[in-house]
Amino acid sequence: MKIGRRSFLSFIIGGAAGTALSPLAWKSMDDSSIWSQNWPWTPVPADGEVSHVNSVCTLCPGGCGITVRKVDDRAVKIEGMKGHPVNDGGVCILGLSALQLLYGPTRVKAPLKRVGERGEEKWQEISWSEAVAEVAAKLGDLRSKGKSHTVCSILDSDKGTVPYLFGRLLTVYGSPNFIRTPSIQDSYELAINLMHGVQASAGFDVEHADFVLSFGSGLIDGWGSPVRMFKANSNWKDSGSKVVQIEPRLSNTAAKSDKWIPINPGTEVALAMGLAHVIIKESLYDSDFVNNYSSGFDKFKQLVLDKYNPDNVAQITGVDSSALVSLARNFAHASKPLAVCGRGQGKTQGSLDEFIAVHALNALVGNINSEGGVWAVPDPDYIKWPEVEMDSVAAVGMQKERIDGAGSETYPYARYLLNRFSGVVNSEEESPVNALFVAGANPLYTISDSKAVKEAFSKIPFVVSFSSYMDETAKNADLILPNHVFLERYEDVPMPVGLQKHVIGLSRPVVKPQFNTKHVGDVIILIAKALGGRIADAFPWDNYEACLEETLGDKWESIVENGFWSDPDFKVPASEEAFNTPSGKFEFIPANLKSPLDFSPVTIEGSDISYPLILVPYDSMRLANGFIGNPPFITKTVEDTVLKGKDVFVEINPKTAEEIGLIEGRYVDIRTPRGKAKVRVHLFDGIMPGIVALPRGLGHTAYDKYIAGKGINFNELIGPVEDPVSGFDAAWGIRARLTKV
Amino acid sequence: MSRLIEEKGKESESGGFIILFFILGLAASLVLGWGVFPKLLYSQKKQPIDFNHVLHVEAVEEGCESCHFFREDGSFSGLPKLAQCVDCHEEIQGEDPNEVKFVEEFVANEREVPWLVYAEQPDCVFFSHAAHVKMGKMECVLCHGHIGESSHSRVYEENRVTGYSRDIWGKNISGLKKNTWDRMKMDDCAECHAKNKIGYDKTSMETLPWPLNWALLPYEKQIGPKARVQAKKDACFVCHK
Ligand code: SF4
């Protein structure tokens, strides 16, 4: 028998019919669809017991309370803590993504010692005892050579037990070089110091203000404590409070404000003085406060009446004089007006004149230390450690001038000047810094003129990073002593930025340390103990947790239970007692200032001939631009007109674009006196002609492949411009040029 | 001549042969689809410990809930953790080799037993035991069958393609079922939910976690007696998270 073609076909047809009548086809289809929904790389959290831990987020200075949902030993979701005095249940997109920073690949998993060249990323894992011994040996060596003052620490904060431990170690070791990373806190503290005569942070009673005048502050773009500001903003909408936003670019804040006033960039100080002019001229100021509790008003009055009439100001700022007059009247007539400044998220210090001018506006309307106004909030004084006893080496070291020049004759007012750091190091043949410790900060990324900062770092013989992540600074360090991330450690988080209350939050271990990391507080104590003598004596605690518990004393139990402690009795003194200036009053023109302020706009770097455009940065909640790299979850939310693939877009007004012949999406080279980069063009009506803008928070070169290599770091294009009085970085932009590529 | 014979042969093929081969093909594929395929599709696995439900139900006081209970936050602890077993099984009780193995391998090493879960659903399926058992007052048996009456652990048949238990599709490869607990696919959920809305009144709706929108809306179309398209926004996300 021979099987022919027809029989064969018939067999196939029979087979097909049989298959259709069997479950094979539809069952396979069902199974393959389930299979395709369960790829092995799709993460599926294991089932288990659910629990919640209250803690505090430390990813920005906002100090939000968080509640972390756990399944067994794994943290699975971060939410805002209900009832927390800062954020009451809210959380920002960065806080939400923090689990990626806990479990993601960017962590440093053990103490690492550099074996290749700096930045080459050749590391050798070492033990903690080796790491501590190495640091102690280095410090001991420098000290024995009388070079203790060449040791320097850079931290993101000077409040709380961890910065205090660093400060204490430096003091008893013999170095005055504790440096805090720059922000508008510096300028606000200084303005308050000069005008109130007290050392305090600025607190803003935003919840009660009914007219908010913002000089470029990104109220809902991450200024102050971000989640608190979102909440305040929705309250303003509900209660009909007004928000006026003054800035050259239509930011989110400007778009959501009641009135957006575009202004020539950098001229905000003149506008503030112009508003003061109208308020004084029309006698709209709070005469009770001005007559009874202020001094220098006449001089101030003379200055604004002479130099800042609305027409002059209109010319400088580009803001129509009639708009200025009506803005001044509305502001002064509001029952609780509040003026704030510090551009964007307030990551650069800004010019002192501007802060003094804006603070003077607040004083004119009498809202200093009052409901809905600006408060001078002293640090809570819960850290009461015994004075350190210095030996002779330490005493000599502490007498030396600071490396950044803060507190010197040239810069008598500033406390920290990290912006001057690289200039100082680079100007000398041999680095004046012999050892540098960096904790909770990433200066190689966040400080402007990255190239110069990198050069300075490369000259410093010994750099130690305490970063939990392989950030730019860690990558270029000699030793990395990784700290636990905030979800794995105890730490007090005092003074959420901009809050007019005393609140201390407690970060606490939500999960066990995932890797061989160590609390930075413990490491400092171990280093001190290894150094011995008076240094060891200054650190009587067995470990950091014991130190923290002892420091918080009777607050410990309630802070552990609630996740935070807030002082119910906190008040600022009444105006009779609030000021500690030479006059005992609020000083419009600070008597303590040796050189007079001229209240003129800051000139930025670059000539307008070779660089016809002005480049300004902008901040967004979707791009973390501090020492934390933007986790991939958030990067996903960045619009295609900001970042597409690896390309960042420069915003430009369509008119300006037309003049130089650019169209949407076009690749261009952007050049500034400090650097150049290849970017793409985005036409945006919301930016003033002649100005271009780039976002901050992109262009990482470290961390991991998910964070690095996206866009460019704004700090590579801009350098510091020194404020003549304070020494702060007053740069608000830089001149730039676009060329087609 | 020889060509002629050949052609003749072919002609005869076209008659009975063709039908024969059709039947052969049909039969082969039916055997394959109904018989061989299910055998190939599922692998047979044994539970790490042969568990005797009968024995345990007799020994405990609160029935199923003694081991399969609700946690304080309302979530359901489906499989007991070792910690619960240890309460009674710190030491070996009796001589059953399974008991010995359990205590020696797991209790002594503080290792969780890697039970194979017959009712395991994909992660995207949101199912609340509290809603069904506490609010809906449903019996365990309704979905899980008489597992509490078994004295040995059944063989766990794992679908080689999906990795899930055969219990989900159901023992019957055709997908037909006799009892409510024979299958655990979405249609089975839908069937019960659809049934319960028939003649619903306020009280029965309240005991059902299913949102009120389960009642047919004017723009929805009935696509069959049981299943139907749920057109209301977000409806899918009640179960598919
Ligand atoms: S605002 Fe800051 S502190 Fe609050 S959740 Fe976001 S990153 Fe954390």
Residue A78 reports pLDDT greater than 70? yes
Q: What tokens were used for A261?
A: 């006033």
Chain A residues near residue B123 by CB distance under 8 angstroms:
44-45
How high is the pLDDT of residue B204? 39
**Centroid of ligand 1 to alpha carbon of A64 (angstroms):** 5
How high is the pLDDT of residue B193? 74
> pLDDT, tens digit, for every residue of A545-563?
999 999 999 999 999 989 9
With CA atoms as reference, report the closest residue to A469 among A179, A104, A94, A182. Answer: A104
Nearest CB to B24 within list A14, A27, A28? A14
The reply to whether ligand 1 has any atom less than 6 angstroms from the CB of A634 is: no
**Centroid of ligand 1 to alpha carbon of A468 (angstroms):** 18
CATH 2.40.40.20: which residues of chain A?
Answer: 613-740
Asked if the C-beta of B124 comes within 8 angstroms of chain A's C-beta atoms, the answer is yes
Q: Given an 8 Å threshold on Cβ–Cβ distance, is A15 in contact with B17?
A: no
* Rounded Cα distance, B146 and A684, in Å: 67
Chain A contacts in chain B segment 144-203 (CB below 8 A): 159, 161-164, 169, 173-175
**Centroid of ligand 1 to alpha carbon of A283 (angstroms):** 42
Chain A residues near residue B11 by CB distance under 8 angstroms:
none
CATH number for region A47-89+487-509: 2.20.25
Chain A residues near residue B161 by CB distance under 8 angstroms:
28, 31-32, 34-35
SS (HEC) of A365-387: CCCECCCCCEEEECCCCCCCCCC
Q: How many CB atoms lie within 10 A of CB A660?
A: 15
Helix (H) or strand (E) holding A124: strand A123-125
What angle, 0 to 180 degrees and rounded to 10, lies between the N-to-C axes of helices A418-427 and A450-459? 60
* Rounded Cα distance, A544 and A439, in Å: 16
Q: Which of A91, A96, A485 to mutate to test the pocket of ligand 1 (most atoms within 8 A of CB)?
A: A91
Tell me the ipTM for this assembly: 0.80
Q: Given an 8 Å threshold on Cβ–Cβ distance, is A10 in contact with B18?
A: yes
> What's chain B's length in residues?
241
* Rounded Cα distance, A472 and A483, in Å: 16
- Are A547 and A529 spatial neighbours (Cβ–Cβ below 8 Å)? no
Q: Given an 8 Å threshold on Cβ–Cβ distance, is B37 in contact with A3?
A: no
CATH 2.20.25: which residues of chain A?
Answer: 47-89+487-509
Nearest CB to A38 within list B20, B23, B162? B162
Does A185-378 carry CATH code 3.40.228.10? yes
> pLDDT, tens digit, for every residue of A246-256?
999 999 999 99
Write down the architecture of domain A613-740 according to CATH: Beta Barrel (2.40)
CB half-sphere exposure, A723, CA atoms < 13 A? 33
Place of tokens 């199923």: B64
| Nearest CA distance, B1 vs chain A (angstrom) | 19
**Centroid of ligand 1 to alpha carbon of A567 (angstroms):** 21
Per-residue confidence in pLDDT tens, chain B, 241 aa: 444 444 444 555 567 888 888 999 999 999 999 999 999 999 999 999 999 999 999 888 888 888 898 887 777 888 888 888 888 888 888 888 999 999 999 999 989 999 999 999 887 788 888 888 887 788 889 999 999 899 999 999 999 999 999 999 999 998 889 999 999 998 888 777 767 663 333 333 333 444 434 444 444 444 444 433 344 445 566 677 6
CATH 3.40.228.10: which residues of chain A?
Answer: 185-378
Domain ranges of chain B: 2-45
How high is the pLDDT of residue A691? 97
Helix (H) or strand (E) holding A526: helix A520-531
**Centroid of ligand 1 to alpha carbon of A262 (angstroms):** 29
Q: Given an 8 Å threshold on Cβ–Cβ distance, is A50 in contact with B37?
A: no
Q: Given an 8 Å threshold on Cβ–Cβ distance, is B34 in contact with A22?
A: yes
Nearest CB to A10 within list B9, B25, B73? B25
